[in-house]
């Protein structure tokens, strides 16, 4: 950077302004870029604040903000304060008591050095989808808080991270400190509930303690352990099940049995190998580590409750990293948000982040079994509200009692869901948790539909193709089935009312004996009971452009 024709006084003024310059945010391509900008005009140098707030509030907890002294206070602003700020310039000289330049002396000018531009892994489209869903959830459920994380399970790249309540970085002083200081996806700790069962499942499969399709388990609705009665969420229990059905039904006594088969040393070894009890090391400030039982204090009851996700304390980012390892082939990756450091003038990539493998936790074969079991949970079990027609989705619900004043609350819960897709080759993992939603407090009812919406929109955006080879969904009473639209061309109205079996409603246009066109087209997937518009004619090849008459594309 060159500054032309500045006097000593104006140069000192300019440098004083420069030292107060803030870091701004702009959106470029698929990621977010933090940058500095400045303007030089003739003899007057001005520094322009480049803070584009249209997107800044969307990623407020990730980006953070700076203080009036340009020091990063939260988020990546704090984490990478030195790299973003660069170095201030200076002018040194000998002066008299009045501050005037001493005769014969000269000024020494040190040119300021711009900070680097930071490109993040955050995908602006996926981030926007998540923020939209959290906003709607807060309104619908009047929750205390809500959060969501999206990650590439094959690399650890964070594709989206958001929480509510949110704040405007430019006016952070107007918000409570616990809102802008706490990035809930990495700071919040709580008992995970049934999403943690994925870890118990993976450990039991890796140690060959269970065959999901051959081993049987009877659930009377409770299990007695160490003098304590631990109940299943379903009153009266699930009765006789395979262990695959134990997973589908999220049966607590069944997972207690898996924990007992493993033993405390083995189970807690896997829990630690999956990253629980320590920070993931994500490159954001304020991460918590969670709390695990000391092995010496784990008795029969502690072993049992840990197996189904009670009594341990974890963070959302730990769960996302751990479940990603369980379904990506067994590899635990360090999550990260820094994609690259870029030179502010040349655009040259100065430093690029690479995926960091922490360890191999389970085998490829075990991971495949976990994926298949969790896909069955979404198609046939408690995760059905996350089912997406045309996409293979796996996942697990979670409903955990909150601990208030040292006691489990019977009225307040944290409900959650973690899902991934496609189930046979995961490209994205999405986790959401909602704190104390009003009304029904079950992860399958509250959190699973949120993840369904995020995944469906994200998969479309990512151009993941729709497929037909997914596990068929089992419908329960009151649920609307998704059905395939048949080819009706050539049929008579009488044929249709006889053959449709009440799957569809009909709306007829035109006159004639035969159906010559229809909308939706054959093969489309729609809700049972949807309306099919049929266009009638007397000659089968007499296909008039009826769709245009309806104001639609042919």
Whose CA is closest to 430, among 401, 390, 459, 399? 459
Whose CA is closest to 205, among 156, 241, 247? 247
Mark whether 163 is an active-site residue.
no
For the chain, state the CA radius of gyration. 29
146 close to 137: Cβ distance less than 8 angstroms: yes
Q: Which residue of the set 90, 92, 145, 194 is catalytic?
A: 194
Q: Is the dihedral of CA 499, 503, 507, 509 positive or negative?
A: negative
The DSSP element (H or E) to which 205 belongs, if any, is: helix 197-206
Question: How many residues are recorded in the chain?
Answer: 554
d(CA 262, CA 247): 16
End-to-end CA distance of the chain: 58
Peptide bond into 520 cis (omega under 30): yes
Query: What is the distance of C-alpha 477 from the center of its chain?
Result: 30
d(CA 256, CA 210): 13
169 close to 177: Cβ distance less than 8 angstroms: no
d(CA 340, CA 118): 6
314 close to 189: Cβ distance less than 8 angstroms: yes
d(CA 334, CA 155): 8
10 Å CB burial of residue 471 (0-12, 13-18, 19+) is: middle
| Residues classed as catalytic | 194
């Amino acid at each position: 950077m060159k500054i032309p024709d500045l006097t000593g006084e104006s140069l000192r003024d300019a440098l004083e302004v420069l030292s107060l310059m803030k870091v701004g945010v702009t959106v470029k391509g698929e990621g977010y870029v933090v940058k500095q900008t400045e303007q030089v005009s003739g003899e007057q140098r001005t520094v322009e604040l480049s803070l584009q707030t249209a997107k800044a509030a969307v990623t407020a907890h990730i980006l953070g903000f700076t203080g009036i002294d340009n020091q990063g206070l939260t988020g990546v602003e704090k984490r990478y304060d030195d790299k973003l700020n660069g170095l201030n310039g200076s002018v040194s000289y000998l002066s008299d008591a009045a501050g005037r330049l001493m005769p014969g002396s000269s000024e020494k000018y040190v040119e300021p050095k711009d900070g680097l531009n930071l490109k993040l892994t955050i995908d602006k489209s996926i981030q926007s989808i998540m923020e939209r869903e959290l906003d709607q959830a807060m309104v619908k459920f009047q929750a205390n808080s809500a959060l969501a994380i999206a990650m590439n399970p094959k690399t650890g790249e964070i594709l989206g991270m958001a929480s509510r309540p949110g704040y405007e970085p430019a006016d952070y002083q107007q918000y409570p400190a616990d809102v802008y200081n706490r990035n809930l996806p990495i700071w919040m700790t709580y008992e995970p509930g049934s999403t943690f069962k994925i870890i118990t499942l993976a450990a039991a499969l890796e140690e060959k303690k269970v065959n999901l399709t051959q081993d049987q388990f009877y659930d009377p609705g409770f299990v007695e352990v160490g003098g304590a009665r631990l109940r299943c969420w379903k009153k009266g229990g699930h009765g006789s099940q395979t262990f695959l059905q134990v997973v589908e039904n999220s049966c607590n006594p069944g997972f207690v049995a898996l924990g007992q088969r493993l033993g405390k040393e083995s189970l807690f070894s896997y829990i630690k190998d999956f990253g629980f009890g320590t920070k993931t090391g994500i490159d954001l400030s304020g991460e918590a580590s969670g709390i695990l039982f000391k092995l010496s204090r784990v008795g029969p009851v502690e072993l049992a409750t840990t197996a189904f996700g009670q009594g341990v304390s974890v963070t959302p980012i730990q769960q996302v990293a751990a479940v990603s390892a369980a379904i990506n082939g067994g590899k635990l990756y360090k999550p990260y948000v820094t994609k690259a450091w870029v030179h502010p003038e040349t655009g040259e990539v100065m430093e690029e982040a690479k995926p960091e493998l922490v360890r191999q936790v389970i085998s490829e074969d075990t991971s495949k079994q976990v994926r298949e079991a969790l896909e069955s949970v979404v198609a046939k079990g408690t995760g059905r509200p996350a089912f997406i027609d045309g996409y293979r989705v796996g996942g697990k619900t979670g409903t955990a009692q909150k601990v208030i004043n040292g006691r489990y609350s019977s009225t307040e819960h944290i409900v959650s869901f973690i899902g991934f897709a496609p189930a046979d080759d995961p490209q994205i993992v999405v986790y959401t948790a909602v704190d104390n939603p009003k009304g029904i407090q079950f992860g399958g009812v509250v959190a699973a539909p949120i993840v369904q919406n995020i995944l469906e929109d994200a998969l479309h955006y990512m151009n993941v193709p729709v497929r037909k080879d997914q596990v068929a969904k089992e419908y329960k009473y009151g649920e609307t089935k998704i059905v395939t639209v048949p080819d009706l061309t050539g049929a008579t109205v009488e044929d249709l009312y006889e053959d449709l079996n009440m799957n569809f409603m009909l709306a007829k246009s035109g006159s004639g004996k035969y159906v010559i066109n229809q909308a939706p087209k054959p093969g489309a997937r729609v809700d049972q009971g949807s309306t099919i518009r049929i266009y009638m004619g007397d000659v089968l090849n007499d296909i008039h452009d009826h769709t245009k008459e309806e104001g639609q594309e042919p």
